[in-house]
Amino acid sequence: MAEVKKWVVEDINRTAPNLAAIKRFSTDDCAGLRFENFLQEYQVDLILHAISKIGIEYYEGDDKAGGVVRKGKLGPNFFRFKSDHSEYFRRARIFEKVFEERILRLVNFFPRVQEVASKTFSLGHGVAEHQDRRMMNFTVRVLPEAPIHRDWMPGENTGLSFAPRVSEQFAWNIYLKTPKAGGQTRIYKEQDPAQAAKGSNYIDVAPRVGDLIIFRSTQAHSVLPSDGERLTLSGFFGITSEKLLFWA
């Protein structure tokens, strides 16, 4: 009889990490991992202060479910500029420097996200490149809600040279500001968003300041409506035969 996947998001505690749960996630046997207090309160405060000084850009963007939503971002994400690669890379060079000097110099969290992912999958890591140009490593995002969708870059016809090498894709999010209510990330057991919408098993993860959540972005997922601001550090990574590749 086939094993039934345990559809839970496992909590991973920094001092005593649940290695069995990490192993289960790496072999696609649970919905996600939540690294509790990945950032400490003072680190979140430092990052929030830096972000408030840089200023969030708001725009109307595609919600991957046929709608348009108001999004807040700092740093380009590829999906927004999928039809204008040069604008994406132009902005990437600007924000790479801004992030390095104004956020990572204070709290160098990104290499830690890469290390956690590397340990989980026993693979090295790097930032993805397209024609010798580095992709953005992460973005800062205000996302009050998101309809059911999935993120699978190799299927999006992007023309990115590394895309065909990606065999699995993951989303990672660190919560910096959480709403008074709502804003849970709902991860469905189903991959197809239309099937998920008809009714499928799911798990809700309530956002908590400082936590890092990692899940397979190819599972249908959504963000439930938030009452209040919901701000994250976010990105994707993919598995290739040599290493994990990160991009946003």
Ligand X SMILES: O=C(O)CCC(=O)C(=O)O
Q: Among residues 120 and 185, whose Cβ is nearest to ligand X?
A: 185
Query: Least CB distance from residue 122 to ligand X, whole Å?
Result: 24
Q: Least Å distance between CB 49 and ligand X?
A: 21
**26 near ligand X, rule: CB under 6 A:** no
User: Least distance (Å) from ligand X to the CB of residue 218?
Assistant: 10
Whichever of 72 and 133 has its CB closer to ligand X, that residue is 72
Stretch of 49-57, 71-79, 160-168, 217-225 contacting ligand X, by CB under 6 A = 217-225
Rg (CA), the chain: 17
Candidates 22, 136, 146, 245: give the one binding ligand X (CB under 6 A): 146
Choose the binding region for ligand X from 30-38, 91-99, 192-200, 216-224 (rule: CB under 6 A).
216-224
Structural tokens at position 93: 């060079």
Q: Which of residues 9 and 223 has its CB atom nearest to ligand X in the complex?
A: 223
Q: How far is CA 227 from CA 178, 179, 212, 242, in A?
A: 9, 5, 21, 42
CB of 155 to ligand X, least distance (A): 14
**Which range of residues in 18-26, 71-79, 143-151, 237-245 is near ligand X by CB under 6 A?**
143-151
Point out which residues bind ligand X (CB under 6 A).
Answer: 143, 146, 151, 171, 173, 185, 217, 221, 223, 232, 234
